[in-house]
Amino acid sequence: MTQRVELATVMDRFAVDGLVTEYAVAVDDGDWEAYRRLFAPDGRADYRSAGGIEGDADEVAGWLARSMELFAMRQHLIVNRQLLFGVLDQDSGDTARVRADYINPMRLAGQDGTSTAPDFVCGGRYVFRLVRTDLGWRLREVVVQEKWRRMPPPRQEPSAG
C-alpha cells in the first residue's frame, strides 16, 4: 500500500467517524435538519427494535422529533466502532459499514429539575451503512438494534392517611 493510499484511508476513517459523531449530536440536540443532511438521498433508518419506525430520513426525523419531546436531556454515546470499507457493484462510489455499540441515558421532560440522573437508559448496537457522495460521506442506512433498556420505577401515589 502506498503512502497516498494509506493517507486517503486515514482521512476516510476520520470522515466516517465524524459522521457517526454528528449523528449522535444531531439526535441528542434535536437538530432534525442536521439529522436529515447526514443521509444520502436514498438514506433510510430503522428504529423498530426500539419501538420506533423504519423509513426514509425525512419520515424518521419527524418521528424522532415527536418522540424525543418526552426527554429533556439526551446524551447517547457511540463506542466500540468497527469500520469496514468496500465497493459494491451497485454503488457509484465507495461504501463503508460501521458497527458500534451505544448507551443512551435520557432525562424525562417535566421533572422537578433537582436531579440530573437519567430516568431512562437503553443500550444496543448500531449498524451504519455509508456511501461516498459528491458532498462527502453520507448515511445510506442506520439500523438500531436495541438490546436492553432500564425504565424508571412506577410512581408511587401517596397513601391516604
Residue 120 inside a domain? The answer is yes
Residue 160 inside a domain? The answer is no
SS3 152: coil
Which of 149, 126, 152 has its CA nearest to residue 139?
126
Per the structure, the complete domain to which residue 85 belongs is given by 3-150
CA triple 123-10-145, angle to 5 deg:
15
Model pTM? 0.86
- Provide the number of structural domains found in the chain: 1
> pLDDT band at residue 92, thresholds of 50, 70 and 90?
very low
Residue 157 inside a domain? The answer is no
Q: Which residue has the higher pLDDT, 75 or 154?
A: 75
Task: Check which CATH number belongs to the domain holding 35 and give it.
Answer: 3.10.450.50
pLDDT of residue 110 exceeding 80: no
Q: What is the mean pLDDT of the segment spanning 50-75? A: 95
